[in-house]
Amino acid sequence: MAIHLTPCELAREAGLDRRDVIAKCVELGVPIFNGKIDKTLFLSSLREAPSQPIDVPQAAVAASGG
């Protein structure tokens, strides 16, 4: 199972739009390194964010083990 995903791959797994994934990375300070995002860091940052204008699908939370 891959941990570092492109924004498109991560959007598919998290049930979000690619642009939303990139916007949340910028907002939450999740690094995008060489076009890849750490899936675990991204999903945990989304869960712990104090205000979430983008709804995190429960399937994405369950898939991350949370």
DSSP string, the chain: --SEE-HHHHHHHHT--HHHHHHHHHHHT--EETTEEEHHHHHHHHHH-S--SSPPPHHHHHHTT-
Tokens 């979430």 sit on residue = 52
pLDDT at residue 50, rounded to an integer: 77
State the residue range of the domain holding 16.
Answer: 4-63
Contact 25, 37 (CB under 8 A): yes
Q: Is the pLDDT of residue 62 over 80?
A: no
Q: Is the pLDDT of residue 12 over 90?
A: yes
0.85 cut: is pTM over it?
no
Q: Is the pLDDT of residue 30 over 60?
A: yes
How many structural domains is the chain composed of?
Answer: 1
